[in-house]
Structure 1
């Protein structure tokens, strides 16, 4: 999606005068309100800029490195999060003024700034009596976006102040937090209203009916989860449990609502899994299919996309299209930013559907053979073929093979592989875990210099199918759930879940399937919280030490701990920033802070 007018220009729209005669003056440095809100092109430009407030998943530090999926190679940035050391005044990467989170657009301040823009649009559409098909569509898009921004506030802070108007200097600016239930209901209403105004299909970088219903599915799935009815267990003594969960109502009914919301998207009949119905002749075909989900500009699996172009942004912008530079191996002049943990790597099943285990001697000898095809599509491991090395290093490795092991020499010393932290190429960016991220990265691009412009998938259909399956499991409808889980596994080239699995075993298998299918897509950070398994999985990050004995091509593997991590129950939610508390004494802090 390309901007029509500059953001700097449109920011001029946010300033108005208390003078009743202000609109009688023709400004010479900006468009007046009257001109903007009676010009469809300018109104569209205003909405286009609101879209840019969406969260972008491709950045130096991804949410995956704030949970058990990956480890950020510059670990100091994420340490406060993975060690549960957050506080209202110090939050590391999640601090309101931390430069990375400013780019990510999910700080308290940036979200409310975007909500204000939404409210401004909604007020002026009514004030200037704007009408027409295009305005109706934009109206639906803005309702979607306001629901989207409140969704990010909800899942980070719980119940938040619900602001549905633009404030003036005469307004009372101190506002209390609404309850968790009120916040969920507000978001759902915005998304329902959006769905009633939006077209069924169209440009997937703009909200559609399917996008509104799919986001509603996610919100209701999250809201039905155990975290939000268990405040007495994890927030003992907290005097305002209504701010971080439900204090009444029926959880089963909430699961029914989540199931229906997901089924409503399925029943639209316009979305399909990428490669659905294909019979893979070889595992390599399944690998290529999963890779290409993320290396295309649009498919039937995409529900909501976020594009980034080089037309409206500085070509040196330290931002979005550099996912390859940020994450590819250091031996290819990448930064190796969000390296998969051993825990994520070990979660990928064997190709026959059995679990991988280092305790299995046959698997431990050849740990990277015969794994789930998604393993090869998402993980770069020692011995994996990646791409041709850059010109200054290609002589050391003409074949482009990832080297994260160490090679013993005749004198007993070890030579470090090209992609280790001890290697000869950008050792400061080398992996600690012995792995690199493969997902999203285009091997045809020289990531040291060039950018790839494939979109970030805000929502894709596989998530909706998993949402539906989870709600079914929570309602005891195991066969229905199994049907939809197996659809995703079949597309991935994996066998069905065994029919003998039921109860907790089946739920655990589903949760692992969700972890694998949606790896690095901003779900796991919230899933481990809403499922209340964070105390179990936020453990020291593991990696692999790989040693090749002298004269041997068969390495010896040792599982090692590479980053200290610990859990505190306060980390289920973020603290409200101290500056916000100081400005507004009506705000109540979250538990544990």
Structure 2
């Protein structure tokens, strides 16, 4: 690692007068022994563990959900503006300047800078673990809780690094100033996962660490539930083809995922199955999912939302006049990233059958010729949005969708000449590129034009953990348990159970597709597409060509639906090198000079 990472001078933060346990106080110039002698300063030191929690959703450069926009679920109308997604789409990426890794937000702050920020946090966590036993605390129970929180947050930041960079050095302790870095090596994702599992198991075994936060003052603090979620995710990534180095870890991943779900359920976590605000979210079968992602989790002993495992303390998803419908609507600015036809194709019909052949969804490279599922007799290409999984209408606005805007019901018109028709001119920022608009994170039915959802980002929820269990169980050959876990998620939205007649290969395809549908717009698809690839693979089948739906209104009021490519050129980000981010060029060069080993990720 860069010397600045491990010779980083720890800034100690003085506790201010705010009541919020996670208010970060101003930095001071105290010696460590002075800090450890004062319980309030020790608590302030704990607060530093929660710095640099990544911002998600609509808080990337110019309020674009960049991770979604760079998956196959979305295409951004910022594609001609020279900004983050535009650079990515044009493949203007390098180890010295990568937009996803380095780009600034609209106010000049580096919202990403993942490598530097997360390693800093890992060191802060390790240091607290090492010194907390000799620190003064206000309550002896705090000592165990603080150490457990540090272990969970170390696991959290390690997991974030794994998602972006893959292999990492495994360090469970701080490194002294005069350390010999010549023996430093990258270790496998499985080895990183073992550290995460160890830290999370220790945290779960700590009596003072709670399973759930029950007061607003402690919002954002680590819990046993977060430890369980991280355990499930870490070993699933380690078992996935991109990272498993030819080893089969699926049985271990299944056992961890199963235990995590069992622990969560035993401690009061459950799916949010029924909306508590039908006047806002309606009473449709996917209304509860829409409410879940649009509203903050509540903190009490008996919360309304028992599904959310870990929610960011700050940083709303910010959907309003930016990132919603745009297109000739009052008080709107731009639609930002819009769902692709590929995402729309993923939603089954209500009889539980895929629209396309999931094994080979398109007959051509450019996705213009869909390979329809011959067993699905319900889907009608001439009426493509009828009889679909209820989650489609809670995720995507399409031609004929109904919405409330400025106290009036509006019918979405994406047909040529309609109010919301797409444009394929990159200067038309207020137009969808795909013929669709995102709506999952937007509170429906609100009065006026301020259709806003500023819910803080939900990093982990039980629905995602159930799908981790479904995938790992299927890959480990526990097909019946895989179906049960997936079916629990599907049932929330009124979708039928997966057929027991599915082959193991078919079951895995269905579970992969279920992840795409249930977790759409929640920044999972970007990483799923990558971890499912072999190290020699690429994303040419999913992330090279994208399609839009062009709708023509006929004289009799019917519509004709025609697919076309969003762009005449392939989009960047699909090559083998794009499976993981590059280490910063200066970082890789320094590490190579110190260790004599190659540190840069393949292709960079």
Q: Same fold (TM over 0.5)?
A: yes
Alignment-derived partner of residue 524 in structure 1: 525
Alignment-derived partner of residue 56 in structure 1: 55
1:307/1:453 contact within 8 Å kept:
no
Alignment-derived partner of residue 115 in structure 2: 108
The answer to whether residue 490 in structure 2 is matched with residue 494 in structure 1 is: no
CA offset digits 1:536-586 (Å, max 9, x no partner): 21231111112223x543222111111423522122221111121233333
Alignment-derived partner of residue 554 in structure 1: 558
Alignment-derived partner of residue 335 in structure 1: 334
- Per mean C-alpha deviation after superposition, the further-off stretch among 250-259 and 211-220 is 250-259
Q: Determine the C-alpha separation between the residues in 1 that align with 2:551 and 2:131.
A: 62
The answer to whether residue 166 in structure 2 is matched with residue 155 in structure 1 is: no
Alignment-derived partner of residue 599 in structure 2: 588
CA offset digits 1:254-284 (Å, max 9, x no partner): 4444444444435535211111799x9x995
Q: Determine the C-alpha separation between the residues in 2 that align with 1:372 and 1:464.
A: 21
Instruction: Give the 3 Å change call, closer, same or farther, for CA 403–277 of structure 1 in structure 2.
Output: closer
Q: Determine the C-alpha separation between the residues in 2 that align with 1:531 and 1:258.
A: 19
Q: Determine the C-alpha separation between the residues in 2 that align with 1:161 and 1:341.
A: 37
Q: Determine the C-alpha separation between the residues in 2 that align with 1:226 and 1:211.
A: 25
Match of 1:274 among 258, 272, 275: 272
Match of 1:399 among 409, 422, 436: 409
The answer to whether residue 100 in structure 2 is matched with residue 93 in structure 1 is: yes
User: Residues 6-21 of structure 1: matches in 2 within 5 Å?
Assistant: 7=24, 9-10=26-27, 12=28
Return the structure number with greater helix share.
1
2:294/2:454 contact within 8 Å kept:
no
1:469/1:480 contact within 8 Å kept:
yes
CA offset digits 1:206-234 (Å, max 9, x no partner): 221121011110111111112224xxxxx
Instruction: Give the 3 Å change call, closer, same or farther, for CA 452–97 of structure 1 in structure 2.
Output: closer
User: Residues 253-272 of structure 1: matches in 2 within 5 Å?
Assistant: 253-266=251-264, 268-272=266-270
2:326/2:333 contact within 8 Å kept:
yes
Q: Determine the C-alpha separation between the residues in 2 that align with 1:285 and 1:468.
A: 27
CA offset digits 1:147-169 (Å, max 9, x no partner): 11111111221222334445565
> What SS is found at the alignment partner of 2:393?
helix
TM-score computed with the length of structure 2 as normaliser: 0.78
2:444/2:451 contact within 8 Å kept:
no
Q: Once the 2 structures are TM-superposed, how far is the Cα of residue 175 of structure 1 from its aligned partner?
A: 7.1
Match of 1:179 among 164, 171, 187: 187
Q: Determine the C-alpha separation between the residues in 1 that align with 2:468 and 2:19.
A: 31
1:322/1:447 contact within 8 Å kept:
no
Alignment-derived partner of residue 72 in structure 1: 76
CA offset digits 1:1-52 (Å, max 9, x no partner): 9856864713x36xx6xxxxxx5xxxxxxxxx45543444443344334324
1:445/1:452 contact within 8 Å kept:
no
Alignment-derived partner of residue 475 in structure 1: 476
1:284/1:373 contact within 8 Å kept:
no
Q: Once the 2 structures are TM-superposed, how far is the Cα of residue 301 of structure 1 from its aligned partner?
A: 0.9
Q: Determine the C-alpha separation between the residues in 1 that align with 2:147 and 2:394.
A: 39
- Per mean C-alpha deviation after superposition, the further-off stretch among 490-499 and 100-109 is 100-109
Match of 2:202 among 193, 213, 217: 193
Instruction: Give the 3 Å change call, closer, same or farther, for CA 343–506 of structure 1 in structure 2.
Output: same
Instruction: Give the 3 Å change call, closer, same or farther, for CA 4–193 of structure 1 in structure 2.
Output: closer
Alignment-derived partner of residue 118 in structure 1: 125
Alignment-derived partner of residue 306 in structure 2: 300
1:339/1:435 contact within 8 Å kept:
yes
CA offset digits 1:337-382 (Å, max 9, x no partner): 2211110011111112122366689612211122111011111112
Q: Determine the C-alpha separation between the residues in 1 that align with 2:349 and 2:251.
A: 37
Paired residues in the alignment total 528
Q: Once the 2 structures are TM-superposed, how far is the Cα of residue 123 of structure 1 from its aligned partner?
A: 3.5
Instruction: Give the 3 Å change call, closer, same or farther, for CA 258–123 of structure 1 in structure 2.
Output: closer
Instruction: Give the 3 Å change call, closer, same or farther, for CA 447–154 of structure 1 in structure 2.
Output: farther
- Per mean C-alpha deviation after superposition, the further-off stretch among 147-156 and 268-277 is 268-277
Q: Determine the C-alpha separation between the residues in 2 that align with 1:325 and 1:8.
A: 34
Q: Determine the C-alpha separation between the residues in 2 that align with 1:2 and 1:334.
A: 38
Alignment-derived partner of residue 363 in structure 2: none
The answer to whether residue 140 in structure 2 is matched with residue 140 in structure 1 is: no
2:334/2:431 contact within 8 Å kept:
yes
1:94/1:101 contact within 8 Å kept:
no
1:69/1:519 contact within 8 Å kept:
yes
> What SS is found at the alignment partner of 2:380?
helix
Q: Determine the C-alpha separation between the residues in 1 that align with 2:293 and 2:445.
A: 14
Alignment-derived partner of residue 355 in structure 2: 356
The answer to whether residue 544 in structure 2 is matched with residue 539 in structure 1 is: yes
1:216/1:261 contact within 8 Å kept:
no
Q: Determine the C-alpha separation between the residues in 1 that align with 2:261 and 2:450.
A: 44
The answer to whether residue 404 in structure 2 is matched with residue 387 in structure 1 is: yes
Match of 1:215 among 224, 230, 233: 230
Match of 2:249 among 248, 251, 262: 251
Instruction: Give the 3 Å change call, closer, same or farther, for CA 456–254 of structure 1 in structure 2.
Output: same
